[in-house]
Amino acid sequence: MSEAAATAGAGDIVLSAQALVMRFGGITATNKVTLDLKQGARHALIGPNGAGKTTLINLLTGVLQPTAGRIILNGQDITQLAPHQRVRLGLVRTFQINQLFDTLTPLETLAMTASQQQGLGGKWWQALGARKSVVERCEQLLEQFRLTDVMAQETRMLAYGKRRLLEIAIALACEPRVLLLDEPVAGVPAGEREELLQTVAALPADVSILLIEHDMDLVFSFANRMTVLVNGMVLTEGDPDTIAHDQQVKAVYLGHGDEINEALAVANHEGADHG
Ligand SMILES: Nc1ncnc2c1ncn2[C@@H]1O[C@H](COP(=O)(O)OP(=O)(O)OP(=O)(O)O)[C@@H](O)[C@H]1O
Ligand SMILES: [Mg+2]
């Protein structure tokens, strides 16, 4: 743990991974990973392919049970809780693209999620007709995620970027306190990227976010804190400026394309400001 994290006190830490270990047979995908997410964080988790980023998200969300270590959410040990129990406590990840309901529209999908969230179970069609709160929440989310113009189209007809926007909208409809985003812009065509980047940048400030992303433009425009994972271990953690100047980090990314080095060069010139 860094000195800053050690002296910050536990009060503003919403999610804490403590010495997490995940072994698959002989592979140690997660090797004593400790990571604290602060209230309102814009925290990026970066690292080369196979570093263990998705495995860590799977541990945090309960898809995987760790071989060792603990996960603390708002002071509560959630290590043994099922994924849906963690969602109820406000720990939400973006839904994978193949988990969207293809034959429902964005409006229907969001109404289903929002009505479930408001304790109305699966009766979203009734909720949509009768519950002002559900309708209002759906309208708000459709607007925020620029889905209003396609809200009545079947999800399978949507452009890829719109589907990814819908994924994040669904996660927000679960009213998260902590949001885990696993590569939100991966595979999105250049023409649709900007809309997604702007939407991610405009996520509510009080939601604490851990972002996994290979796109260094997004990482450096988004994050105020970064953890670098390599071979299942935390290589280093720091603010974007520190990470941008870290020789070890640069070395890790050498030979993996110069994307990070370009982004690092930009970060060196511009700081970590948006734009
Ligand atoms: N279910 C599994 N069974 C066995 N090995 C696994 C399993 N899931 C992940 N691994 C291994 O764990 C390591 C970390 O994988 P992980 O998917 O977490 O990496 P990642 O950082 O998300 O990579 P990428 O950037 O490519 O998405 C890899 O060596 C991977 O092969
Ligand atoms: Mg991954």
Are 148 and 33 within one domain? Answer: no
Q: Look at residue 275 in the predicted model and tell me its pLDDT.
A: 36
Q: Look at residue 216 in the predicted model and tell me its pLDDT.
A: 85
Range of the domain at 247: 3-90+176-270
Among protein residues, the one whose CA lies closest to atom 28 of ligand 1: 50
Q: Answer whether residue 225 is part of any domain.
A: yes
Residue that finishes a domain, picked among 175, 192, 211: 175
Are 76 and 35 within one domain? Answer: yes
52 CB near ligand 1 (under 6 Å): yes
27 CB near ligand 1 (under 6 Å): yes
Average pLDDT over residues 176-194: 91
Are 77 and 210 within one domain? Answer: yes
Contacts of residue 38, defined as CB under 8 A and 6 or more positions apart, other chains included, come to 8, 12, 13, 14, 208, 225
Q: What's the 186 CA to ligand 1 centre distance in angstroms?
A: 17
* CATH code assigned at 211: 3.40.50.300
Tell me the average pLDDT of the chain: 86
46 CB near ligand 1 (under 6 Å): no
Q: Look at residue 2 in the predicted model and tell me its pLDDT.
A: 44
- The answer to which of 32-36, 114-118, 157-161 has the lowest mean pLDDT is 114-118
Average pLDDT over residues 38-53: 95
Among protein residues, the one whose CA lies closest to atom 11 of ligand 1: 29
Q: Answer whether residue 275 is part of any domain.
A: no
Average pLDDT over residues 148-153: 96
- Mutational test site, ligand 1, from 24, 185, 214, 259, max ligand atoms within 8 Å of CB: 24
53 CB near ligand 1 (under 6 Å): yes
Are 125 and 227 within one domain? Answer: no
Q: Answer whether residue 254 is part of any domain.
A: yes
Residue the block writes with tokens 């939100």: 184
User: Which two tokens mark 52?
Assistant: 């263990």
Among protein residues, the one whose CA lies closest to atom 7 of ligand 1: 24
Average pLDDT over residues 115-132: 69
Is the pLDDT at 265 greater than 80? The verdict is no
Ligand 1 atom at minimal distance to the Cα of residue 214: 25
Are 86 and 184 within one domain? Answer: yes
Are 86 and 180 within one domain? Answer: yes
Residue that finishes a domain, picked among 175, 190, 219: 175
Residue that finishes a domain, picked among 175, 203, 224: 175
Q: How many CB atoms lie within 10 A of CB 116?
A: 17
d(C-alpha 203, C-alpha 94), whole Å:
13
Are 77 and 184 within one domain? Answer: yes
Ligand 1 atom at minimal distance to the Cα of residue 183: 27
Structural domains counted in the chain:
2
User: Nearest ligand, CA of residue 214?
Assistant: 1
Are 107 and 154 within one domain? Answer: yes
Are 186 and 264 within one domain? Answer: yes
Among protein residues, the one whose CA lies closest to atom 6 of ligand 1: 24
Q: Which residues are registered as beta bridge partners of 36? A: 16
Are 266 and 192 within one domain? Answer: yes
Q: Look at residue 6 in the predicted model and tell me its pLDDT.
A: 41
Q: What's the 52 CA to ligand 2 centre distance in angstroms?
A: 7
184 CB near ligand 1 (under 6 Å): no
Cα–Cα separations (whole angstroms), residue 126 to 120, 131, 146 = 9, 8, 25
Q: Answer whether residue 141 is part of any domain.
A: yes
Of 274 and 247, more confident = 247
Are 85 and 180 within one domain? Answer: yes
Q: Answer whether residue 67 is part of any domain.
A: yes
Handedness of CA 241, 32, 182, 187 (dihedral sign): positive
Name the strand (E) or helix (H) holding 182.
strand 178-182
Are 221 and 108 within one domain? Answer: no
Q: Look at residue 5 in the predicted model and tell me its pLDDT.
A: 42
Among protein residues, the one whose CA lies closest to atom 8 of ligand 1: 55
Among protein residues, the one whose CA lies closest to atom 17 of ligand 1: 54
Instruction: Read off the pLDDT band of 57 (50, 70, 90).
Output: very high
Of 243 and 120, more confident = 243
For residue range 86-115, list pLDDT tens digits in order.
999 999 998 655 668 889 999 999 988 888
Instruction: Read off the pLDDT band of 204 (50, 70, 90).
Output: very high
Q: Answer whether residue 157 is part of any domain.
A: yes
Cα–Cα separations (whole angstroms), residue 75 to 78, 89, 229 = 9, 12, 25
Q: Is the pTM of this model over 0.75?
A: yes
Q: Look at residue 114 in the predicted model and tell me its pLDDT.
A: 86
